Structure 1
Protein backbone atom coordinates (compact mmCIF):
# COMPACT_ATOMS: atom_id res chain seq x y z
CA UNK A 1 0.00 0.00 0.00
CA UNK A 2 1.24 3.47 -0.78
CA UNK A 3 0.00 6.77 0.65
CA UNK A 4 0.68 8.07 -2.84
CA UNK A 5 -2.04 5.86 -4.25
CA UNK A 6 -3.96 3.81 -1.74
CA UNK A 7 -5.16 0.56 -3.25
CA UNK A 8 -4.23 -2.95 -4.28
CA UNK A 9 -1.53 -2.95 -6.96
CA UNK A 10 1.80 -4.45 -8.03
CA UNK A 11 4.85 -3.12 -6.23
CA UNK A 12 6.43 -1.59 -9.31
CA UNK A 13 3.28 0.47 -9.86
CA UNK A 14 3.28 1.70 -6.26
CA UNK A 15 4.80 5.16 -5.97
CA UNK A 16 7.81 5.29 -3.57
CA UNK A 17 7.31 1.62 -2.75
CA UNK A 18 10.97 1.22 -1.82
CA UNK A 19 10.59 3.52 1.20
CA UNK A 20 9.83 1.93 4.60
CA UNK A 21 6.22 0.80 5.15
CA UNK A 22 5.06 2.29 1.83
CA UNK A 23 4.13 -1.09 0.43
CA UNK A 24 2.55 -4.06 2.21
CA UNK A 25 2.96 -7.55 0.84
CA UNK A 26 1.75 -9.39 3.94
CA UNK A 27 -1.37 -8.95 6.07
CA UNK A 28 0.85 -8.39 9.11
CA UNK A 29 2.21 -5.28 7.37
CA UNK A 30 -1.20 -3.65 6.99
CA UNK A 31 -1.84 -0.40 8.81
CA UNK A 32 -3.54 -0.85 12.18
CA UNK A 33 -5.11 1.96 14.16
CA UNK A 34 -6.37 2.20 17.74
CA UNK A 35 -7.72 5.18 19.67
CA UNK A 36 -7.94 6.08 23.34
CA UNK A 37 -10.47 6.84 24.63
CA UNK A 38 -12.58 4.97 22.07
CA UNK A 39 -15.88 6.39 23.29
CA UNK A 40 -17.12 9.68 24.74
CA UNK A 41 -20.45 11.20 25.68
CA UNK A 42 -22.33 13.32 23.16
CA UNK A 43 -22.14 16.09 25.75
CA UNK A 44 -18.32 16.11 25.79
CA UNK A 45 -16.64 18.39 23.30
CA UNK A 46 -13.12 18.83 21.92
CA UNK A 47 -11.74 15.89 23.91
CA UNK A 48 -8.09 14.98 23.23
CA UNK A 49 -7.88 11.61 21.49
CA UNK A 50 -4.64 9.67 21.13
CA UNK A 51 -4.39 7.42 18.06
CA UNK A 52 -1.71 4.75 17.81
CA UNK A 53 -0.85 3.81 14.24
CA UNK A 54 1.15 0.69 13.39
CA UNK A 55 2.88 -0.05 10.08
CA UNK A 56 2.41 3.51 8.83
CA UNK A 57 4.90 5.22 6.54
CA UNK A 58 6.70 8.35 7.63
CA UNK A 59 4.08 11.05 8.28
CA UNK A 60 6.14 14.24 8.18
CA UNK A 61 3.78 15.67 5.58
CA UNK A 62 1.08 15.59 8.25
CA UNK A 63 -2.34 13.98 8.69
CA UNK A 64 -5.90 15.03 9.30
CA UNK A 65 -8.40 13.26 11.55
CA UNK A 66 -11.85 12.82 10.04
CA UNK A 67 -15.07 11.63 11.69
CA UNK A 68 -16.71 10.15 8.60
CA UNK A 69 -18.10 13.14 6.68
CA UNK A 70 -18.98 15.05 9.84
CA UNK A 71 -15.88 16.98 10.76
CA UNK A 72 -12.17 17.12 9.94
CA UNK A 73 -9.31 18.60 11.93
CA UNK A 74 -5.53 18.70 11.94
CA UNK A 75 -3.72 15.83 13.67
CA UNK A 76 -0.56 16.33 15.72
CA UNK A 77 2.00 13.65 14.77
CA UNK A 78 4.34 12.40 17.51
CA UNK A 79 6.15 9.35 16.12
CA UNK A 80 3.50 6.68 15.59
CA UNK A 81 1.07 8.57 17.80
CA UNK A 82 -1.34 11.15 16.50
CA UNK A 83 -3.31 13.50 18.71
CA UNK A 84 -6.71 14.62 17.50
CA UNK A 85 -9.70 16.32 19.06
CA UNK A 86 -13.27 15.08 19.14
CA UNK A 87 -15.85 17.38 17.49
CA UNK A 88 -16.54 20.79 18.98
CA UNK A 89 -19.96 21.57 20.43
CA UNK A 90 -21.23 23.26 17.25
CA UNK A 91 -20.47 20.07 15.28
CA UNK A 92 -22.07 17.61 17.71
CA UNK A 93 -25.78 18.11 16.89
CA UNK A 94 -25.20 16.33 13.59
CA UNK A 95 -24.24 13.11 15.39
CA UNK A 96 -26.39 13.22 18.50
CA UNK A 97 -27.95 9.81 18.99
CA UNK A 98 -31.65 9.61 18.20
CA UNK A 99 -32.05 5.86 18.61
CA UNK A 100 -30.51 3.73 21.32
CA UNK A 101 -27.82 5.00 23.67
CA UNK A 102 -24.87 5.09 21.25
CA UNK A 103 -23.78 5.66 17.69
CA UNK A 104 -20.71 4.15 16.02
CA UNK A 105 -18.81 6.28 13.53
CA UNK A 106 -15.57 5.67 11.66
CA UNK A 107 -12.56 7.77 12.58
CA UNK A 108 -10.18 8.09 9.62
CA UNK A 109 -6.58 9.21 9.29
CA UNK A 110 -6.15 11.16 6.09
CA UNK A 111 -2.76 11.88 4.51
CA UNK A 112 -2.08 15.54 3.81
CA UNK A 113 0.37 14.36 1.14
CA UNK A 114 -2.33 12.67 -0.94
CA UNK A 115 -5.62 13.76 0.59
CA UNK A 116 -6.55 10.06 0.96
CA UNK A 117 -7.69 8.22 4.08
CA UNK A 118 -5.22 5.41 4.78
CA UNK A 119 -6.44 4.00 8.11
CA UNK A 120 -9.61 3.94 10.17
CA UNK A 121 -11.04 2.66 13.45
CA UNK A 122 -14.46 2.65 15.10
CA UNK A 123 -15.38 5.37 17.55
CA UNK A 124 -18.48 5.52 19.76
CA UNK A 125 -20.54 8.52 20.85
CA UNK A 126 -22.89 7.53 23.67
CA UNK A 127 -25.87 9.30 25.15
CA UNK A 128 -26.67 8.58 28.82
CA UNK A 129 -29.73 10.84 28.82
CA UNK A 130 -31.80 8.35 26.80
CA UNK A 131 -31.98 6.16 29.93
CA UNK A 132 -35.03 7.10 32.01
CA UNK A 133 -34.60 4.66 34.92
CA UNK A 134 -31.78 3.95 37.33
CA UNK A 135 -31.40 0.26 36.48
CA UNK A 136 -31.33 1.00 32.75
CA UNK A 137 -28.80 3.79 33.28
CA UNK A 138 -26.27 1.84 35.37
CA UNK A 139 -26.61 -1.22 33.10
CA UNK A 140 -25.22 0.77 30.19
CA UNK A 141 -21.75 -0.43 29.07
CA UNK A 142 -20.68 3.20 28.99
CA UNK A 143 -19.79 5.62 31.78
CA UNK A 144 -23.34 6.44 32.82
CA UNK A 145 -24.30 7.44 36.37
CA UNK A 146 -27.74 7.90 37.92
CA UNK A 147 -28.53 11.04 39.92
CA UNK A 148 -31.36 9.78 42.10
CA UNK A 149 -32.44 13.18 43.45
CA UNK A 150 -32.57 14.61 39.93
CA UNK A 151 -33.89 11.38 38.38
CA UNK A 152 -31.41 11.78 35.57
CA UNK A 153 -28.75 9.69 33.81
CA UNK A 154 -25.47 11.50 33.12
CA UNK A 155 -21.88 10.79 32.11
CA UNK A 156 -20.66 13.29 34.72
CA UNK A 157 -21.55 12.29 38.32
CA UNK A 158 -20.32 15.67 39.55
CA UNK A 159 -23.57 17.14 38.29
CA UNK A 160 -25.57 15.05 40.80
CA UNK A 161 -27.19 17.06 43.58
CA UNK A 162 -25.58 15.16 46.45
CA UNK A 163 -22.64 12.78 46.80
CA UNK A 164 -25.00 10.12 48.18
CA UNK A 165 -27.29 10.68 45.21
CA UNK A 166 -24.75 9.26 42.75
CA UNK A 167 -25.46 5.69 41.72
CA UNK A 168 -23.20 3.57 39.53
CA UNK A 169 -24.27 0.00 40.43
CA UNK A 170 -27.65 -1.70 40.32
CA UNK A 171 -27.47 -2.48 44.05
CA UNK A 172 -27.63 1.25 44.77
CA UNK A 173 -30.72 1.95 42.65
CA UNK A 174 -34.03 2.86 44.31
CA UNK A 175 -36.24 -0.14 43.59
CA UNK A 176 -39.17 -2.22 44.78
CA UNK A 177 -38.27 -5.71 46.00
CA UNK A 178 -40.12 -8.84 44.84
CA UNK A 179 -43.41 -9.23 46.68
CA UNK A 180 -45.75 -12.15 47.27
CA UNK A 181 -48.98 -11.88 45.33
CA UNK A 182 -50.64 -8.64 46.43
CA UNK A 183 -54.34 -9.45 46.82
CA UNK A 184 -56.88 -6.65 47.23
CA UNK A 185 -60.66 -7.29 47.21
CA UNK A 186 -62.71 -4.66 45.41
CA UNK A 187 -64.59 -2.05 47.44
CA UNK A 188 -62.55 -2.81 50.57
CA UNK A 189 -60.51 0.03 52.04
CA UNK A 190 -57.01 -1.37 52.46
CA UNK A 191 -53.39 -0.13 52.50
CA UNK A 192 -50.74 -1.79 50.33
CA UNK A 193 -47.31 -2.10 51.94
CA UNK A 194 -44.28 -2.70 49.70
CA UNK A 195 -40.71 -3.65 50.50
CA UNK A 196 -38.03 -1.66 48.74
CA UNK A 197 -34.47 -0.41 49.05
CA UNK A 198 -32.65 2.89 48.60
CA UNK A 199 -35.86 4.94 48.52
CA UNK A 200 -34.81 8.60 48.41
CA UNK A 201 -36.03 10.98 51.09
CA UNK A 202 -37.59 13.90 49.17
CA UNK A 203 -35.56 17.07 49.62
CA UNK A 204 -36.78 20.59 50.19
CA UNK A 205 -39.20 21.57 47.44
CA UNK A 206 -39.71 17.99 46.27
CA UNK A 207 -43.06 16.20 46.50
CA UNK A 208 -43.63 12.98 48.40
CA UNK A 209 -44.64 9.49 47.32
CA UNK A 210 -47.69 8.23 45.47
CA UNK A 211 -48.90 4.89 44.10
CA UNK A 212 -50.21 4.85 40.56
CA UNK A 213 -52.55 2.00 39.60
CA UNK A 214 -53.78 1.66 36.04
CA UNK A 215 -57.17 -0.07 36.19
CA UNK A 216 -58.82 -0.88 32.87
CA UNK A 217 -56.98 1.99 31.22
CA UNK A 218 -57.71 4.57 33.91
CA UNK A 219 -54.98 5.90 36.19
CA UNK A 220 -55.64 6.07 39.92
CA UNK A 221 -53.22 8.06 42.07
CA UNK A 222 -53.09 7.17 45.75
CA UNK A 223 -51.07 9.02 48.41
CA UNK A 224 -48.22 6.89 49.74
CA UNK A 225 -46.08 7.06 52.86
CA UNK A 226 -42.35 6.38 52.84
CA UNK A 227 -41.66 4.74 56.20
CA UNK A 228 -37.91 4.56 55.57
CA UNK A 229 -35.53 3.73 52.72
CA UNK A 230 -36.84 0.16 52.61
CA UNK A 231 -40.61 0.47 52.96
CA UNK A 232 -43.45 2.43 51.38
CA UNK A 233 -47.20 2.12 51.82
CA UNK A 234 -50.04 3.06 49.48
CA UNK A 235 -52.52 4.60 51.88
CA UNK A 236 -56.02 3.34 52.76
CA UNK A 237 -58.05 3.29 49.54
CA UNK A 238 -60.63 1.05 47.91
CA UNK A 239 -60.47 -0.05 44.28
CA UNK A 240 -62.97 -1.35 41.73
CA UNK A 241 -63.08 -2.79 38.24
CA UNK A 242 -66.03 -3.17 35.89
CA UNK A 243 -67.63 -6.44 34.87
CA UNK A 244 -68.14 -9.89 36.30
CA UNK A 245 -66.24 -11.77 33.58
CA UNK A 246 -63.00 -11.83 35.58
CA UNK A 247 -62.73 -13.12 39.13
CA UNK A 248 -59.39 -11.31 39.48
CA UNK A 249 -57.62 -8.55 37.59
CA UNK A 250 -53.84 -8.00 37.72
CA UNK A 251 -53.14 -4.26 37.80
CA UNK A 252 -49.87 -2.50 37.06
CA UNK A 253 -48.56 -0.78 40.18
CA UNK A 254 -46.10 2.10 39.92
CA UNK A 255 -44.56 3.93 42.88
CA UNK A 256 -43.63 7.52 42.05
CA UNK A 257 -42.30 10.49 43.96
CA UNK A 258 -41.88 14.18 43.24
CA UNK A 259 -44.71 14.03 40.74
CA UNK A 260 -43.21 11.80 38.06
CA UNK A 261 -40.02 10.18 39.40
CA UNK A 262 -40.67 6.43 39.00
CA UNK A 263 -39.17 3.89 41.38
CA UNK A 264 -37.84 0.87 39.46
CA UNK A 265 -39.96 -2.27 39.74
CA UNK A 266 -37.67 -5.00 38.35
CA UNK A 267 -39.88 -7.83 39.67
CA UNK A 268 -42.89 -6.30 37.89
CA UNK A 269 -44.98 -6.45 41.07
CA UNK A 270 -48.70 -6.12 40.39
CA UNK A 271 -51.82 -5.69 42.49
CA UNK A 272 -54.40 -8.42 42.00
CA UNK A 273 -57.88 -7.00 42.47
CA UNK A 274 -60.58 -9.62 42.92
CA UNK A 275 -64.28 -10.18 43.39
CA UNK A 276 -65.47 -13.23 45.33
CA UNK A 277 -68.78 -13.36 43.49
CA UNK A 278 -67.40 -13.01 39.94
CA UNK A 279 -67.59 -16.38 38.12
CA UNK A 280 -68.57 -18.06 41.41
CA UNK A 281 -72.35 -18.30 41.36
CA UNK A 282 -72.51 -21.58 43.27
CA UNK A 283 -71.33 -22.79 46.64
CA UNK A 284 -68.97 -25.33 45.08
CA UNK A 285 -67.28 -22.75 42.83
CA UNK A 286 -67.01 -20.36 45.76
CA UNK A 287 -65.20 -22.84 47.98
CA UNK A 288 -62.80 -23.67 45.16
CA UNK A 289 -61.50 -20.07 45.15
CA UNK A 290 -57.92 -19.52 46.29
CA UNK A 291 -58.03 -19.72 50.10
CA UNK A 292 -55.94 -16.54 50.24
CA UNK A 293 -58.92 -14.64 48.82
CA UNK A 294 -60.85 -15.27 52.04
CA UNK A 295 -64.12 -15.95 50.19
CA UNK A 296 -67.02 -17.72 51.93
CA UNK A 297 -70.41 -18.96 50.77
CA UNK A 298 -72.92 -16.83 52.63
CA UNK A 299 -75.90 -19.17 53.01
CA UNK A 300 -78.32 -16.50 54.16
CA UNK A 301 -77.67 -14.38 51.06
CA UNK A 302 -76.95 -17.37 48.81
CA UNK A 303 -73.83 -15.73 47.38
CA UNK A 304 -70.03 -15.83 47.46
CA UNK A 305 -68.53 -12.96 49.42
CA UNK A 306 -65.95 -11.96 52.02
CA UNK A 307 -66.53 -13.03 55.61
CA UNK A 308 -66.97 -9.46 56.78
CA UNK A 309 -69.66 -8.94 54.14
CA UNK A 310 -71.77 -11.89 55.27
CA UNK A 311 -74.17 -10.41 57.87
CA UNK A 312 -75.15 -13.79 59.28
CA UNK A 313 -73.63 -15.76 62.20
CA UNK A 314 -70.49 -17.79 61.56
CA UNK A 315 -72.41 -21.04 61.36
CA UNK A 316 -74.32 -19.56 58.44
CA UNK A 317 -71.37 -19.43 56.07
CA UNK A 318 -69.24 -22.08 54.41
CA UNK A 319 -65.49 -21.69 53.86
CA UNK A 320 -62.65 -23.67 52.36
CA UNK A 321 -61.21 -26.12 54.89
CA UNK A 322 -63.34 -24.58 57.65
CA UNK A 323 -65.62 -26.29 60.13
CA UNK A 324 -68.38 -25.75 57.63
CA UNK A 325 -66.85 -26.71 54.30
CA UNK A 326 -69.55 -28.87 52.76
CA UNK A 327 -72.03 -27.46 50.29
CA UNK A 328 -75.47 -28.92 51.04
CA UNK A 329 -77.86 -26.94 48.86
CA UNK A 330 -79.10 -29.03 45.90
CA UNK A 331 -78.97 -27.50 42.45
CA UNK A 332 -80.77 -28.67 39.29
CA UNK A 333 -78.91 -28.27 36.01
CA UNK A 334 -80.22 -29.00 32.51
CA UNK A 335 -77.81 -30.88 30.21
CA UNK A 336 -79.61 -31.56 26.93
CA UNK A 337 -82.38 -34.05 27.72
CA UNK A 338 -80.57 -35.24 30.83
CA UNK A 339 -81.56 -33.73 34.15
CA UNK A 340 -78.86 -33.94 36.81
CA UNK A 341 -79.58 -33.33 40.48
CA UNK A 342 -76.61 -32.12 42.55
CA UNK A 343 -77.22 -32.67 46.20
CA UNK A 344 -74.26 -32.43 48.56
CA UNK A 345 -70.70 -31.82 47.45
CA UNK A 346 -67.58 -31.66 49.51
CA UNK A 347 -64.71 -29.31 48.61
Structure 2
Protein backbone atom coordinates (compact mmCIF):
# COMPACT_ATOMS: atom_id res chain seq x y z
CA UNK A 1 0.00 0.00 0.00
CA UNK A 2 1.35 3.43 -0.99
CA UNK A 3 1.53 6.29 1.51
CA UNK A 4 0.72 9.86 0.53
CA UNK A 5 2.94 12.42 2.20
CA UNK A 6 1.22 15.70 3.07
CA UNK A 7 3.64 18.52 3.87
CA UNK A 8 1.90 20.63 6.52
CA UNK A 9 3.30 23.52 8.47
CA UNK A 10 1.94 24.47 11.90
CA UNK A 11 -0.42 21.50 12.08
CA UNK A 12 -3.05 22.38 14.72
CA UNK A 13 -3.13 20.23 17.83
CA UNK A 14 -6.22 18.05 18.22
CA UNK A 15 -7.96 17.28 21.53
CA UNK A 16 -6.93 14.11 23.33
CA UNK A 17 -8.12 11.02 21.47
CA UNK A 18 -8.93 12.84 18.22
CA UNK A 19 -7.18 11.92 14.97
CA UNK A 20 -6.55 13.38 11.56
CA UNK A 21 -8.04 11.39 8.70
CA UNK A 22 -7.50 11.47 4.96
CA UNK A 23 -10.44 11.09 2.61
CA UNK A 24 -9.78 10.01 -0.99
CA UNK A 25 -12.87 10.82 -3.03
CA UNK A 26 -15.84 8.83 -1.75
CA UNK A 27 -13.72 6.20 0.02
CA UNK A 28 -13.95 5.65 3.76
CA UNK A 29 -11.75 7.99 5.86
CA UNK A 30 -8.31 6.57 6.65
CA UNK A 31 -6.46 7.42 9.87
CA UNK A 32 -3.41 9.60 9.17
CA UNK A 33 -0.10 9.43 11.00
CA UNK A 34 1.34 12.70 12.31
CA UNK A 35 4.98 13.04 11.22
CA UNK A 36 7.70 15.66 11.48
CA UNK A 37 6.72 17.04 8.07
CA UNK A 38 2.93 16.91 8.49
CA UNK A 39 0.80 13.84 7.81
CA UNK A 40 1.27 10.46 6.18
CA UNK A 41 -1.84 8.78 4.77
CA UNK A 42 -2.13 5.21 3.50
CA UNK A 43 -3.95 5.10 0.16
CA UNK A 44 -7.17 3.08 -0.16
CA UNK A 45 -6.94 -0.60 -0.97
CA UNK A 46 -6.84 -1.40 -4.68
CA UNK A 47 -10.45 -2.60 -4.88
CA UNK A 48 -11.65 0.64 -3.24
CA UNK A 49 -9.94 2.91 -5.78
CA UNK A 50 -11.86 4.30 -8.78
CA UNK A 51 -11.41 2.62 -12.15
CA UNK A 52 -9.04 4.20 -14.64
CA UNK A 53 -10.95 5.33 -17.76
CA UNK A 54 -10.12 3.68 -21.10
CA UNK A 55 -7.07 5.14 -22.90
CA UNK A 56 -5.97 6.89 -19.69
CA UNK A 57 -3.05 6.02 -17.43
CA UNK A 58 -4.30 7.72 -14.27
CA UNK A 59 -7.36 9.05 -12.48
CA UNK A 60 -7.67 12.21 -10.37
CA UNK A 61 -9.21 11.86 -6.93
CA UNK A 62 -10.20 14.69 -4.55
CA UNK A 63 -8.15 14.46 -1.36
CA UNK A 64 -9.21 16.15 1.86
CA UNK A 65 -8.19 16.04 5.51
CA UNK A 66 -10.65 15.90 8.37
CA UNK A 67 -10.59 15.66 12.13
CA UNK A 68 -12.27 12.71 13.81
CA UNK A 69 -13.60 15.22 16.33
CA UNK A 70 -15.59 17.36 13.87
CA UNK A 71 -15.83 14.86 10.99
CA UNK A 72 -15.70 17.83 8.61
CA UNK A 73 -13.31 18.07 5.69
CA UNK A 74 -10.70 20.76 5.22
CA UNK A 75 -10.56 22.28 1.75
CA UNK A 76 -9.90 19.45 -0.73
CA UNK A 77 -7.08 19.21 -3.20
CA UNK A 78 -7.28 17.19 -6.38
CA UNK A 79 -4.25 14.95 -6.61
CA UNK A 80 -3.25 11.81 -8.51
CA UNK A 81 -3.86 8.94 -6.14
CA UNK A 82 -0.44 7.45 -6.86
CA UNK A 83 1.61 10.56 -6.08
CA UNK A 84 2.24 12.73 -3.05
CA UNK A 85 0.06 15.75 -2.37
CA UNK A 86 1.30 18.93 -0.73
CA UNK A 87 -0.84 21.15 1.50
CA UNK A 88 -0.10 23.83 4.07
CA UNK A 89 -1.91 24.44 7.37
CA UNK A 90 -1.86 27.97 8.73
CA UNK A 91 -3.39 28.07 12.17
CA UNK A 92 -6.79 26.43 11.78
CA UNK A 93 -7.14 27.21 8.07
CA UNK A 94 -5.97 25.09 5.19
CA UNK A 95 -4.15 26.76 2.32
CA UNK A 96 -3.35 24.79 -0.79
CA UNK A 97 0.10 25.04 -2.29
CA UNK A 98 -1.31 24.05 -5.66
CA UNK A 99 -4.58 25.22 -7.27
CA UNK A 100 -6.90 27.20 -5.01
CA UNK A 101 -10.37 25.95 -5.94
CA UNK A 102 -12.04 27.51 -2.91
CA UNK A 103 -10.29 30.90 -3.40
CA UNK A 104 -8.93 31.08 0.14
CA UNK A 105 -7.56 34.51 1.03
CA UNK A 106 -4.69 32.95 3.02
CA UNK A 107 -3.68 30.56 0.26
CA UNK A 108 -0.11 29.52 -0.34
CA UNK A 109 3.38 29.51 1.06
CA UNK A 110 3.48 33.27 1.69
CA UNK A 111 1.05 32.85 4.61
CA UNK A 112 3.07 30.12 6.34
CA UNK A 113 5.65 30.74 9.10
CA UNK A 114 9.07 31.51 7.63
CA UNK A 115 12.22 33.50 8.28
CA UNK A 116 11.83 37.08 7.04
CA UNK A 117 15.53 37.42 6.20
CA UNK A 118 18.00 34.79 5.04
CA UNK A 119 21.24 36.68 5.64
CA UNK A 120 24.47 34.79 6.27
CA UNK A 121 24.76 33.81 9.96
CA UNK A 122 28.27 33.36 11.38
CA UNK A 123 28.87 31.45 14.62
CA UNK A 124 32.33 31.48 16.24
CA UNK A 125 33.67 28.15 17.48
CA UNK A 126 33.44 27.57 21.26
CA UNK A 127 31.89 30.98 21.97
CA UNK A 128 28.59 31.40 23.85
CA UNK A 129 26.18 32.82 21.27
CA UNK A 130 22.49 33.47 20.62
CA UNK A 131 20.92 32.95 17.20
CA UNK A 132 18.21 35.45 16.30
CA UNK A 133 15.55 35.07 13.59
CA UNK A 134 12.87 37.47 12.44
CA UNK A 135 9.83 35.37 11.53
CA UNK A 136 6.83 36.16 9.33
CA UNK A 137 3.44 34.70 10.31
CA UNK A 138 4.76 33.56 13.67
CA UNK A 139 2.47 30.87 15.15
CA UNK A 140 1.16 31.18 18.68
CA UNK A 141 1.54 27.97 20.70
CA UNK A 142 -1.52 26.98 22.71
CA UNK A 143 -1.63 26.21 26.45
CA UNK A 144 0.11 22.91 27.09
CA UNK A 145 2.49 23.27 24.15
CA UNK A 146 6.23 23.25 24.79
CA UNK A 147 6.94 26.53 23.00
CA UNK A 148 9.77 27.02 20.51
CA UNK A 149 12.99 25.08 20.08
CA UNK A 150 16.00 25.27 17.76
CA UNK A 151 17.26 21.98 16.36
CA UNK A 152 20.90 22.38 15.37
CA UNK A 153 22.93 19.75 13.52
CA UNK A 154 26.74 20.05 13.48
CA UNK A 155 28.91 17.32 11.97
CA UNK A 156 26.06 14.83 12.34
CA UNK A 157 25.40 15.63 16.01
CA UNK A 158 21.99 17.08 16.91
CA UNK A 159 21.39 19.67 19.62
CA UNK A 160 17.97 20.76 20.92
CA UNK A 161 18.26 24.36 22.13
CA UNK A 162 15.39 26.15 23.91
CA UNK A 163 14.13 29.29 22.18
CA UNK A 164 11.99 32.24 23.19
CA UNK A 165 9.82 34.85 21.51
CA UNK A 166 11.17 38.39 21.76
CA UNK A 167 8.55 40.95 20.76
CA UNK A 168 5.96 40.01 18.17
CA UNK A 169 8.06 38.28 15.53
CA UNK A 170 11.54 37.50 16.84
CA UNK A 171 12.69 33.99 17.77
CA UNK A 172 15.89 33.77 19.82
CA UNK A 173 17.76 30.48 20.25
CA UNK A 174 19.22 30.57 23.77
CA UNK A 175 22.92 31.26 24.32
CA UNK A 176 24.82 28.08 23.52
CA UNK A 177 28.42 27.15 22.73
CA UNK A 178 28.84 25.60 19.29
CA UNK A 179 31.95 23.68 18.33
CA UNK A 180 33.27 21.51 15.52
CA UNK A 181 36.35 19.38 14.90
CA UNK A 182 37.25 20.28 11.30
CA UNK A 183 40.22 22.58 10.76
CA UNK A 184 38.37 24.73 8.25
CA UNK A 185 35.01 26.49 8.45
CA UNK A 186 31.98 24.26 8.74
CA UNK A 187 28.27 24.48 7.98
CA UNK A 188 25.53 23.67 10.46
CA UNK A 189 21.79 23.43 9.89
CA UNK A 190 19.33 25.21 12.17
CA UNK A 191 15.63 24.35 12.21
CA UNK A 192 13.12 26.23 14.35
CA UNK A 193 10.10 24.26 15.56
CA UNK A 194 7.29 24.78 18.02
CA UNK A 195 5.84 22.11 20.29
CA UNK A 196 8.83 20.01 19.14
CA UNK A 197 7.19 18.75 15.93
CA UNK A 198 5.76 21.75 14.06
CA UNK A 199 8.15 23.25 11.52
CA UNK A 200 8.68 27.03 11.31
CA UNK A 201 11.69 27.30 8.97
CA UNK A 202 15.28 26.15 8.54
CA UNK A 203 18.57 27.63 7.37
CA UNK A 204 22.26 26.77 7.14
CA UNK A 205 24.73 28.77 9.24
CA UNK A 206 28.52 29.04 9.03
CA UNK A 207 30.83 28.06 11.88
CA UNK A 208 34.34 29.47 11.99
CA UNK A 209 37.48 29.38 14.14
Coarse TM-score class (shorter-chain normalised)? 0.5 to 0.7
**Aligned-partner Cα distance in 2 for 1:206–1:126:** 33
Equivalent residue for 1:183, pick from 111, 122, 130: 122
Report the counterpart of residue 253 of structure 1 in structure 2.
190
Q: Corresponding residue for 2:206?
A: 272
Q: Answer whether contact 1:144 1:154 (CA < 8 A) is retained.
A: no
The structure with more strand, counted as a fraction of residues:
2
**How much does 1:121 deviate?**
9.5
Change (3 A) 1:127 1:219: farther
Residue aligned with 1:207, SS: coil
1:287-335, Cα deviation, whole Å (9 max, x unpaired): xxxxxxxxxxxxxxxxxxxxxxxxxxxxxxxxxxxxxxxxxxxxxxxxx
> Which residue does 1:339 correspond to in 2?
none
SS of the equivalent of 1:89 reads coil
SS in 1 for 2:192: strand
Where in structure 2 are the equivalents of 1:82-231 lying within 5 Å? Answer: 87-89=26-28, 93-95=44-46, 106-107=52-53, 123-125=59-61, 127=63, 146-149=88-91, 168-231=107-170
TM-score, reference length from structure 2? 0.58
Q: How far did residue 200 of structure 1 move?
A: 0.4
Q: In 2, Cα distance between the equivalents of 1:105 and 1:264?
A: 40
What is the match of residue 285 of structure 1? none
TM-score (norm 1): 0.37
Q: Kindly indicate whether the alpha-carbon contact (under 8 Å) linking 1:128 and 1:154 is maintained by their aligned counterparts in 2.
A: no
C-alpha contact (below 8 Å) 1:186/1:274 kept by paired residues: yes
1:43 aligns with 2:29: no
Higher helix share: 1
Deviation at 1:125, TM superposition (A): 2.2
State the number of aligned residues: 153
- Structure-2 change in CA distance of 1:123 and 1:188 (3 Å): same
Give distance in 1, aligned partners of 2:206 and 2:128.
Answer: 14
Is contact 2:95–2:108 with CA below 8 Å preserved after alignment?
Answer: no
CA distance in structure 1 between the partners assigned to 2:27 and 2:95 by the alignment? 19
Alpha carbons of structure 1 residues 120 and 106: separation in structure 2 relative to 1, 3 Å: same
Structure 2 unaligned spans of 5+? 1-20, 30-42, 66-76, 80-84, 97-104
* Cα contact 1:128–1:144 (8 A) shared by 2: no
Where does the alignment leave 5 or more consecutive residues of structure 1 unmatched? 1-40, 46-86, 97-102, 109-118, 130-139, 156-165, 276-347
Using the alignment, how far apart are the partners of 1:120 and 1:242 within structure 2? 56
Alpha-carbon distance, 1:259 to partner: 1.1
Q: Tell me which of 164, 177, 180 is aligned to 1:241.
A: 180
Highest CA radius of gyration, 1 or 2?
1
Correspondence 1:286-301 to 2 at 5 A: none
